[in-house]
């Protein structure tokens, strides 16, 4: 039997030694970001995604092994565990296979078969099911089991009870269940029909049929929701005769006097026990697959959203649009500190709009605002039009961007926002959040439950625990990839750093408030509850710009400081050269000297040496700065301005199974259907685009009434 290490190595296509090392590192309490970044030599430079896949699969295989042992123990306690059964359980590759093998021995609620056994009909069932060629007829055999005292009044009742026992025995056969399950996956059809005459968003599924094997995740999730909301009736359909042929081949022995009786019991097993059970299994498995697909896509969308390039060093005005309550305004400085707030009413009439422009113009001039962030919610279009007039009135020099305000209201009403901005009401807090989302999306979005960020599909239908785990992993990976300034980061951001918790993050903030800014990484060890293990995990991801040691403002881990200093020395440089950017062609120097010999001289592996060299060349670098900057606009475009054939530049806002939504500067995002995403064949839009991508699109069709915009990426004229 394969070991867990061998299984993982085969499934992931990795060296067994690397798999073994990762398992040991995980068991020692190391975090995935730490392992990915600082233990590359031990795992062959797997990235964080591969390591998380390994970790998830490891957990499943360990749970599978634990369940195997529990099942064997239960069967052994019944005195029924044989060597053959034990070997079958040990070789079962999935939890479903283990449960199939356990099924005949699992304590059951009272069934027709258990009641028949209580009447003493088990021996009759065994004789009939054996189907010996020389056996008597079922009626003749059953006569001996008629016993009114046990509740068996007639031969027919004895045969009915024996048939119930045989049907249950057939339905509990692990090999048979596996074969039928595979048959259903290959040939069954999922059908949905209208459960009401009322029109709804589920009308596409009012008369729908699709082979189970070709169902798309978004179809499964939509059908499930429609069924839950009583708009749809759903069933799995399978050609009964095809299934029964396979069933009869396995249980009916031709030539026996009991052949017809067993055939009838087999049909009863299929109709009453097997098919209903397998139908539930298929529906559950389809849902699990759709959930995993949707969670994976949500995570895939979330990562580029969090990694959007920040718009640093600018005083920013945040506008949270609204009708009745007005437009909430917040001006924040380059570090996100609130400078001014206001509420204006540009949608209440022309006079109020002019007053709003005058007031906001004064705020722009007073504080030197250069960028405006506008939330994309209610009244966003009117606010955007006002912003364009505002920019003209101040003589230009200001640009704006529509910012997703998904989750802003959730955050502004949260305990966290109240602690951060006790002096502002809920509405003004959301304006601050919108301004900061433009300045540093990651630092602001970590304060919000990832499910509320709005880049998924059917996220409210997902298993909450699994969704939280997946999205939290993405947030953690993004934060650690960027690094965190220990002297400016909020507790929300700090607690996403590998090795830190909500409590230690708060302790770091409290320590710097009481003792002033940190001046070295070592000083972090003085923070209460940040012990050696936590420090080992977090140190490389925390930046200390105020430190005299340039390495404290890089992703070089303290354990590699000696190696970094040795590398500088061997290539004729100093720490001062690194701080001043005077390293010249360090990569060339490493190639000339030989990376392997330099790594050996520095006492590290080649991957670590190359990472150290990269950090030394750009101390304090932000990997997000290397991405295309966000699109800032100075003029407004309306849906009525769009004409088929127009070529526009836009930002991908969401990627789902059937396409991508692109912000092209009008209030409504346009849809690029999967068939219009790429000239090449793709199975999923995510193969070609990610959230945050800047793309060129051509307008195909505009429906002003329904506010639908159809776009194409593949039909954009090529230069």
- Please list the residues that pair with 659 across neighbouring strands: 656, 673
pLDDT recorded at residue 719:
60
**What is the tally of helices (H) and strands (E) in the chain?**
31, 15
Reduced to 3 DSSP states, what percent helix, strand and coil does the chain have, rounded to the nearest 5? 55, 10, 30
Residue among 274, 279, 277, 294 at smallest CA distance from 225 = 294
CA distance 123 to 117: 9
The first and second tokens of residue 107, run together, are 């304590």
pLDDT recorded at residue 653:
87
The first and second tokens of residue 113, run together, are 């078969």
Element (H, E) at 508: helix 502-515
CA distance 85 to 68: 11
Q: Is the model's pLDDT at 382 over the cut of 80? A: yes
Look over the chain and give the mean of its residue pLDDT values, rounded to a whole number: 92
Q: Is the model's pLDDT at 442 over the cut of 80? A: yes
pLDDT recorded at residue 267:
96
pLDDT recorded at residue 717:
84
Positive or negative torsion for Cα 25, 28, 30, 32: positive
pLDDT recorded at residue 636:
63
CB of 456 closer than 8 Å to CB of 297: yes
State if pTM tops 0.95: no
Element (H, E) at 328: strand 327-332
Q: Is the model's pLDDT at 428 over the cut of 80? A: yes
CB of 128 closer than 8 Å to CB of 258: yes
The stretch 422-432 carries a mean pLDDT of 89
pLDDT recorded at residue 568:
93
For the beta carbon of residue 286, count every other beta carbon within 10 angstroms: 21
User: pLDDT by residue (tens digit) across 553-583?
Assistant: 999 999 999 999 999 999 999 999 898 888 8
CA distance 712 to 719: 16
Q: Is the model's pLDDT at 421 over the cut of 90? A: no
Q: What angle do CA 110, 116, 118 make, to 5 degrees?
A: 75
Question: Considering only 86-90, 226-230, 272-276, 449-453, which range has the smallest mean pLDDT?
Answer: 449-453
For residue 310, give the DSSP letter. P
Q: Is the model's pLDDT at 594 over the cut of 90? A: yes
Q: Is the model's pLDDT at 447 over the cut of 90? A: no
pLDDT recorded at residue 33:
96
Residue among 429, 436, 411 at smallest CA distance from 335 = 436
Q: What angle do CA 663, 668, 674 make, to 5 degrees?
A: 60
The stretch 685-707 carries a mean pLDDT of 89
Q: Is the model's pLDDT at 342 over the cut of 90? A: yes
Q: Is the model's pLDDT at 237 over the cut of 90? A: yes
User: pLDDT by residue (tens digit) across 98-114?
Assistant: 999 999 999 888 899 99
CA distance 244 to 267: 7
User: pLDDT by residue (tens digit) across 611-652?
Assistant: 999 999 988 888 888 777 777 777 766 788 888 998 888 888
pLDDT recorded at residue 327:
93
Would residue 55 be called left, alpha or beta, if left means φ above 0 and alpha means ψ between -120 and 50 degrees? alpha
CB of 8 closer than 8 Å to CB of 61: yes
Question: Considering only 373-382, 454-463, 559-568, 660-669, which range has the smallest mean pLDDT?
Answer: 454-463
pLDDT recorded at residue 650:
87
Q: Is the model's pLDDT at 671 over the cut of 80? A: yes
CB of 364 closer than 8 Å to CB of 395: no
For residue 501, give the DSSP letter. -
Helix, strand, or coil here: 134?
coil
- Alpha helices, H only, 78-173: 83-91, 95-102, 112-118, 122-130, 138-143, 155-171
């Amino acid at each position: 039997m394969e070991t867990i290490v061998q299984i993982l190595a085969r499934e992931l296509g990795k060296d067994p030694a690397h798999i073994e090392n990762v398992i040991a590192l995980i068991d020692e309490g190391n975090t995935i970001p730490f392992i990915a970044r600082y233990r590359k030599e031990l795992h062959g430079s797997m990235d964080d995604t591969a390591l998380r896949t390994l970790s998830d699969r490891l957990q499943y295989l360990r749970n599978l092994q634990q369940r195997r042992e529990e099942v064997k123990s239960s069967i052994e306690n019944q005195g029924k565990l044989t060597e053959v059964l034990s070997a079958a359980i040990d070789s079962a590759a999935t939890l479903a296979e283990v449960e199939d093998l356990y099924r005949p021995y699992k304590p059951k609620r009272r069934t027709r078969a258990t009641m028949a056994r209580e009447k003493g009909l088990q021996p009759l069932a065994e004789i009939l099911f054996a189907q010996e060629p020389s056996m008597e007829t079922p009626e003749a055999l059953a006569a001996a089991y008629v016993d009114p005292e046990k509740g068996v009044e007639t031969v027919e009742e004895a045969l009915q009870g024996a048939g119930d026992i045989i049907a249950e025995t057939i339905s509990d056969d692990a090999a048979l269940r596996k074969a039928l399950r595979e048959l259903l996956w290959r040939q069954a059809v999922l059908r949905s029909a209208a459960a009401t005459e009322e029109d709804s968003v589920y009308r596409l599924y009012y008369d729908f049929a699709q082979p189970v094997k070709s169902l798309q995740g978004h179809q499964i999730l939509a059908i499930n929701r429609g069924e839950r909301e009583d708009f749809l009736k759903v069933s799995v359909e399978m050609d009964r005769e095809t299934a029964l042929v396979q069933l009869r081949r396995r249980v009916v022995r031709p030539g026996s006097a009991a052949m017809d009786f067993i055939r009838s019991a087999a049909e009863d097993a299929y109709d009453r026990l097997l098919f209903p059970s397998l139908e539930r299994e298929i529906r559950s498995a389809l849902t699990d697959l759709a959930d995993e697909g949707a969670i994976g896509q949500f995570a895939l969308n979330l990562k580029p959203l969090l990694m959007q390039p920040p718009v640093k060093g600018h005083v920013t005005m945040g506008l949270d649009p609204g009708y009745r309550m007005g437009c909430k305004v917040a001006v924040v400085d380059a570090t996100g500190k609130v400078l001014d707030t206001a509420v204006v009413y540009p949608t209440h009439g022309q006079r109020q709009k002019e007053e709003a422009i005058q007031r906001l113009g004064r705020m722009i001039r007073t504080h030197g605002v250069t960028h405006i962030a506008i939330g994309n919610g209610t009244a966003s279009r009117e606010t955007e039009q006002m912003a364009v007039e505002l920019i003209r009135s101040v003589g230009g020099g200001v640009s704006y961007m529509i910012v997703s305000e998904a989750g802003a209201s959730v955050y502004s009403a949260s305990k966290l926002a109240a602690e951060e901005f006790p002096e502002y009401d809920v509405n003004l807090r959301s304006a601050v959040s919108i301004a900061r989302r433009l300045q540093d999306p990651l630092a602001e979005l970590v304060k919000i439950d990832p499910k509320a960020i709005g880049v998924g599909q059917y996220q409210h239908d997902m298993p909450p625990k699994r969704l939280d785990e997946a999205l939290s992993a993405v947030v953690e990976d993004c934060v650690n990839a960027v690094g965190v300034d220990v002297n400016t980061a909020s507790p929300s951001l700090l607690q996403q750093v590998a090795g830190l918790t909500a409590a230690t993050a708060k302790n770091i903030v409290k320590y710097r408030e009481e003792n002033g800014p940190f001046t070295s990484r070592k000083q972090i060890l003085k923070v209460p509850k940040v012990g050696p293990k936590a420090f080992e995990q977090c140190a490389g991801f925390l930046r200390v710009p105020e430190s005299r040691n340039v390495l404290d403002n890089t992703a070089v881990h303290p354990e590699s400081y000696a190696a970094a200093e040795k590398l500088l020395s061997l290539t004729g440089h100093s720490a001062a050269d690194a701080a001043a950017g005077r390293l010249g062609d360090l990569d060339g120097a490493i190639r000339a000297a030989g990376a392997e010999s330099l790594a050996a001289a520095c006492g590290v592996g080649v991957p670590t040496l190359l990472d150290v060299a990269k950090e030394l060349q750009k101390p304090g670098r932000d990997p997000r700065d290397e991405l295309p900057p966000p699109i800032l606009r100075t003029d407004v475009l309306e849906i009525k301005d769009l004409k088929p054939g127009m070529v526009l530049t836009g930002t991908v806002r969401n990627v789902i199974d059937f396409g991508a939504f692109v912000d092209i500067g009008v209030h409504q995002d346009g849809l690029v259907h999967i068939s219009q995403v790429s000239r090449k064949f793709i199975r999923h839009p995510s193969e070609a685009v990610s959230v945050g991508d800047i793309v060129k699109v051509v307008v195909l069709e505009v429906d002003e009434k329904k506010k639908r915009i159809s776009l194409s990426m593949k039909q954009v004229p090529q230069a």
